[in-house]
A and B are shown apart, each in its own frame.
Chain A
Amino acid sequence: MIAHATALADWVLVLPVVLPILGAAALLMVRQRLRVQFWLCAAVILAVLAADVMLFARVLGGGPLSMTMGRWLPPFGISFTADVLGAGFATLAAFVAFAVVLSLVTTAPEGALRDGVYPLVLLLLAGVSGAVLTGDLFNLYVWFEVMLIASFGLIVLAGHPLQLDAAVKYAVPNVIATTLLLLSLGLIYGTLGTLNMADVIGRADDADPNLLAAVAALFLLAVGIKAAVFPVNAWLPASYHAPPPAITALIGGLSTKVGAYAVLRLALMLMPSVAEPLAPIVLGVAVATSLLGPFSALAEANLRRAVGFLLIGGVGNILLCVAPGHAPEAIAGGVLYVAHAVLTVSALYLVTGLIETAQGTGNIAEMSARSRVSWPVAALFFVLVMAISGIPPFLGFWPKLLLLQGFIQTGDWLLVFTVLLNSLLTLIVGARLWSLVCWRPSGDPAVRAPGLGAAVLVTGAVVLVGLSPQLFVDAANVAAAGLLDPARYIAAVGVSP
C-alpha cells in the first residue's frame, strides 16, 4: 500500500474525467429545463478546460504526472498518467466540446435537446479525456466504451430514419472493434502479465518479439477500425453525414483521433519492438489511407461525406510517423498532426453544417444551383480548406512541415511523396468544393444560418495557432521525445523497471 496520500494539487489529473461525469448526472436531474442544462453544460466544460490547461502546463514544465487509484501500488492499481500528448489532446477535446455546445444551443433539433444531447456530450468528453489520460490498457478499453456509447446516443438522437440507418452502420463495426480491443488486451495480459502501461514498457523488451507482434497487430487492427484507416473505414462515410452537423463536428473531430492516439501510444511507446516486424503493414496502410481518402473525396457528391474522406486522409498522415528509425521530427509531426486534425476537422464539419443547413441540402450539385452562401461562411470555409491542405499561414502547414523534415532526414522518399501528394489532392478537393459551393454568380440573397459563433471560434483557433505555432511545436517535440524515451513516464508512475 502507498502510505502517503496523493498531493492535493495532483488531483487535477482526474478532474477532466470526474467533472463531466458528475456534470452529466446533474444535467439529467434538470432535464426539463433546457436553458439551465445549456448553461450548466457550458460551465462544466469550461471547468474541464481550465483543469486541462492547468494539467497541460504542469506536464509541459514538470514531466508526466501519475496517480494510482485506491492506494494500491502502481502495477496493480489503475494508474492515471498524463504526459504532454495526453494532456494536450484532452485540452483540445474540451475546447472542441465547448464550441460544439455553443453550436448545439442554436442548431440542434428540439427533439435532440429534449432527449438529452448535453449530458451525452459531457459523457463523450469524459470518455475522450479518460482514454488519453489513463495509464492502464484495460482502463483504455473502458474509456473507449464510454466514448462509444455516448456517440451512439448522439448519432441516433431525434431518431430520423437516416440516422437510424447510419447508426447501425456506425455501431456494429465499432462494437466489434472494441471487442477485438478487449481480445488483444486479454492476450497482452496473458503474454506480459500486466496491463499497466508503464509496466508493459519494461516487460515488452523481454518478451518474444514475434508473439508480441501478433498480439500488437490485433490491437492495431482494433484501434485502426476506430481510427478509420483504409481497409476498415467504410463505416465512417456511411454514418458521419447523418446526425446534426454539430454532433458530427464533435464525433468526427475527436473519436477517430483517439484511435490514432492509441496507435501512436502502443506502437511508438509501449511496444517499440513490434514496430520492426509490423512496419511494412502499418506504413502500407498509412500510405493507402493518406492517398485514398482525398481520392474518394474527389468523387463524392455529398458535402459532409467529402469532408469525411478528407478526415480519413488526415488519419493516414498521422500514421505515417509510426515506423522504426524515424527522426524525432517526424514523430513530432505526427503528434502535431493529431492536434491539427482535431481542430481543423471539427471546424470544417461546423462550417459545412452551416452551409448545409442554409441550403437545405447536402448535395454539392444542388447546392451550386441554389442561393448564395453568405460571405462570412464562405470566408471561413476558404480558410479551412487552405488549413486542411497545409497551406502556410494556417495550422495544417506546420505538422506537414515537421513530417517532411523528418522523412527527408532519414531519406524516406516514398513517405515524402505521399505527404506531398496528399496535400495536393486535398487542395484540389477543397478548392473544387469551395468553388462549387461558394464561388457562384450572386443570385438570390444569402440565407443566414444560425450558429456562426462556434465555427468562428474553432476557425479562429486554427488561424491563431497557424500564425504563432511555437507553443504547439514545442509541446509536440516534448511529446515525441516522451514517446521515444519513456523513462520519465515510468518514473512518474513509479514501477520498478
Chain B
Amino acid sequence: MEIILAPLVGLFLAAAIYLMLSRALVRVMLGVALLGNGVNLLIFVAGRLTRAVPPIVPQGAEEPAGFVANPLPQALILTAIVIGFSMFAFLMVLVFRAYQSLDADNTDRMRLAEPEQPQRPPLEY
C-alpha cells in the first residue's frame, strides 16, 4: 500500500507547489489546502499501513493481545487537520479582507508594504 500512496503524496505536493507559485492569491490558497492534505496523507503513510485490529487493551490486561494497528498517526493527523483548518480559515478571511481594502488579489498589485518604486535612503548627511 505504501507504494501506491507515496506517489499520490508526491502528486499532492507537486500540485500544491505549482499552485503556490502563482501570483493569484486564490490559487495560492488552493495550494495551501492541497499541501496540508498531502502532508496529512504522508503522516498516515509514515505510520506504516497494516491490516490489523484497533489498538484496544482488553479489560484487566496491561497490553493489547496480539498485533494491533498503530494509533499514533491518527492522533497526529487529527491535530494537524484541526490546526490546518483553522489556519486556512484565517488565511481565507485575511485574503478576502485584503481584496476588499486593497482591491487586489494579485500579489504584484499589492504594493503598500513594499512600494514599486523603492525609496532611496538619503545619500549625504
Contacts and interface: CB of A to CB of B under 8 A. Distances in A.
Interface of A: 138, 142, 145, 148-149, 152, 156, 159, 161-162, 164-169, 171-172, 175-176, 178-179, 182-183, 185-187, 189-190, 237-239, 241-242, 298-302, 363-365, 368, 435-436
A435 B102 contact: no
Contacts of B97: 156, 159, 164
Contacts of B48: 190
14 contacts: A142-B83, A145-B87, A164-B102, A165-B98, A171-B94, A176-B32, A178-B87, A179-B36, A186-B39, A186-B76, A190-B48, A299-B121, A301-B121, A365-B119
A187 B95 contact: no
Contacts of A152: 90, 94
A179 B121 contact: no
Most buried by B among A148, A164, A239, A365: A164
B122 A189 contact: no
Interface residues of B, number: 42
A165 B90 contact: no
A285 B112 CA distance: 29
Nearest to A188: B46
A436 B122 contact: yes
Given A159-B97, A365-B119, A187 B42 contact: yes
B76 A138 contact: yes
A305 B119 CA distance: 12
Given A172-B91, A187-B42, A301 B98 contact: no
A168 B95 contact: yes
A165 B32 CA distance: 18
B110 A179 contact: no
Given A166-B112, A185-B43, 18 more contacts: A152-B90, A164-B98, A165-B102, A165-B110, A166-B113, A172-B32, A172-B91, A176-B32, A179-B32, A179-B39, A179-B84, A182-B43, A186-B42, A190-B45, A298-B121, A299-B120, A301-B119, A368-B122
B42 A162 contact: no
Contacts of A138: 76, 79
Nearest to A439: B125
A171 B90 contact: yes
Given A175-B32, A175-B91, A238-B114, A182 B80 contact: yes
Contacts of B98: 164-165, 167-168
A175 to B, nearest CB: 5
Nearest to B125: A435
Contacts of B20: 176
B74 interface: no
B57 to A, nearest CB: 11
A302 B118 CA distance: 10
Contacts of B59: none
Given A162-B112, A179-B39, A189 B46 contact: yes
Contact of A161 (B42, B46, B112): B112
B47 A190 contact: yes
Given A165-B102, A167-B98, A301 B118 contact: yes
B113 A300 contact: no
Specify which of B45, B73, B80 lies most central, judged by the most chain A CB atoms within 10 Å of its CB: B80
Contact of B121 (A168, A176, A239, A365): A365
Interface string B51-90: 0000000000000000000001100100110011011001
B28 to A, nearest CB: 6
A179 B84 CA distance: 8
A164 B114 contact: no
A165 B94 CA distance: 9
Nearest to A169: B113
Contacts of B125: 435-436
A165 B106 CA distance: 11
A436 B123 CA distance: 10
B32 to A, nearest CB: 6
A186 B46 contact: yes
B113 A165 contact: yes
Given A156-B94, A165-B113, A239-B113, A182 B39 contact: yes
A186 B43 contact: yes
- The residue among B79, B87, B112, B121 with the most chain A CB atoms within 10 A of its own CB is B121
A165 B35 CA distance: 23
